[in-house]
């Protein structure tokens, strides 16, 4: 089953992944309904959705290395779902920021984005994530072409860097364990990606040296 699941087994795997990816959202709804968001509910919602955004983002980036190590080519078919759930939790995180903190006041939102650097980084990451989510379909791949689509979706690494910096910046000094953990994981993933691109790079053959033409014989000394 692991090496090459059937279409029915793959559907079951996708369904299980869908349910698992929704569990953090269900946990958040359950806490909200039962008044269990803690003394600072706005901060709880923002941290919860932000944490699961970066969890799923890094998990999405792990798909390619995992396929390379295990030769489970079928897991590539799970990457789109993970990426879209990353966008889902990022959207919840952004809505919590503009809704709970600023009551959808555009002037206050713009002022906060320009004033606080970690908010600027988070907003930039979310803005770059939008076209990736919008083009996560076969129609976009055909319209853009495979090469242009791949170039666009490589920006997920930039999003991950901005996300880690955003998380690192807003975390207090005594609670840096998780930001450091995420940064180390991202560093390893970036190292793997760079080595993989170098390995696949086709060397450009050097042109053979051309001897200059001599129209006149050189006089002997």
Q: How confident is the model at residue 131 (pLDDT cuts 50, 70, 90)?
A: very high
Give the pLDDT mean for 7-16.
93
CA distance 72 to 25: 29
The predicted-structure confidence for 151-161, as pLDDT tens digits, reads as follows 999 999 999 99
* Predicted model pTM: 0.87
What would the pLDDT profile of 171-217 be if each residue is shown by its tens digit? 876 678 888 999 999 999 999 999 988 887 756 556 565 555 554 55
Query: What are the CA-CA distances from residue 14 to residues 9, 61, 77, 133, 175 (Å)?
Result: 9, 17, 9, 18, 35
Beta-carbon contacts of 53 under 8 Å, excluding residues fewer than 6 positions away, are 86, 89, 90, 93, 163
Buried b (16+ CB within 10 A) or exposed e, 147-171: eebeeebeebeebbbbbbbbbbebb
- The chain-wide mean pLDDT, for the chain, equals 89
Predicted local confidence at residue 197, as pLDDT = 84
């Amino acid at each position: 089953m692991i090496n090459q699941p059937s279409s029915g087994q793959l559907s079951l795997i996708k369904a299980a992944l869908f349910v698992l990816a929704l569990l953090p959202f269900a946990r958040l709804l359950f806490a909200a309904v039962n008044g269990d968001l803690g003394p600072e509910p706005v901060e709880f919602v923002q941290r919860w959705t932000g944490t699961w955004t970066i969890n799923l983002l890094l998990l999405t980036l792990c798909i390619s290395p995992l396929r390379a190590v295990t030769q489970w080519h079928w897991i590539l078919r799970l990457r789109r779902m993970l990426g879209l759930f990353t966008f889902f939790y990022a959207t919840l995180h952004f809505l919590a920021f503009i809704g709970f903190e600023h009551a959808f006041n555009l002037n206050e939102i713009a002022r906060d984005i320009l004033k606080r650097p970690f908010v600027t980084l988070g907003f930039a990451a979310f803005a770059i994530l939008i076209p990736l989510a919008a083009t996560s379909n076969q129609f976009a791949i055909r319209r853009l072409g495979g090469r242009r689509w791949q170039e666009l979706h490589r920006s997920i690494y930039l999003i991950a860097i901005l996300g880690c910096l955003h998380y690192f910046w807003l975390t207090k000094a005594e609670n840096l364990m998780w930001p450091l953990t995420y940064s180390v994981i991202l560093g390893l993933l970036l190292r793997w990606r760079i080595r993989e691109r170098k390995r696949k790079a086709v060397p450009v053959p050097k042109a053979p040296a051309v001897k200059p033409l001599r129209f006149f014989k050189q006089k002997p000394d």
